[in-house]
Amino acid sequence: MAGLPVLPWQPREALHSTGVSIEGSEHDPGVWIDWVVSGALRDAALRALEAGAYRRGGSEMHPAIRHSSTVKFAMMAAIAEILEAAGYRVERDADDYRPGELLVLEQQSGPTWRDPIGPPLAGLGGYMPGVRVRLTDGAYAGSITRVVEAWHTTSLDEPSDVYLVEHPQGTGELQVPATAVELAYEDN
């Protein structure tokens, strides 16, 4: 969901692709994640390695080797952080035979980005123009309408305290206090 390209399962289809490689089997406790750098960078680093353009221990190396490693490790750190923020348990360096890869285990319970928007957070920062709201007080209580404008009559550091909404009967606009509106959920 982060927008990173995911490579196909067949390695030969991904020879010149860049992206996330996901591999797992019934014998693994989770799935293995790896980042595949671009074909051009991969080829340049491989040519430098084959030519021995590095000193053992890493004190000197061709820029292609260094850049390939930097890209891979930066992407793996970012992927791990993204997965952990989404609630997954991630183990780094879980297997000596898979250096630099991530072992992604089960998703922990708790709130996620997929959760519906609702109390107590909905409206906490105020509703933006265009948002569907339900009027909860006054002559049009229960009507669903849209926010046209939001006003601050007290402090700009607080959420809006007055809304201008489309009139529920389609005849202009209606000014209502913020306490008289709530988010109109998609299923309503």
pTM above 0.75, yes or no: no
User: What's the pLDDT band for 14 if we cut at 50, 70, 90?
Assistant: low
pLDDT tens, 53-80? 999 887 899 999 999 999 999 999 999 9
The DSSP secondary structure of the chain, one letter per residue, reads -----B--SSGGGGTT--EEEEE--TTSSSEEEEEE--HHHHHHHHHHHHTT-B-TTSSSB-HHHHHHHHHHHHHHHHHHHHHHHTTEEEEES--TTSTT-EEEEEEPSS--TTSPP-TTTTTTT-PPTT-EEEE-SSTTTT-EEEEEEEE-SS-TTS--SEEEEE-TTSSSEEEEEGGGEEE--TT-
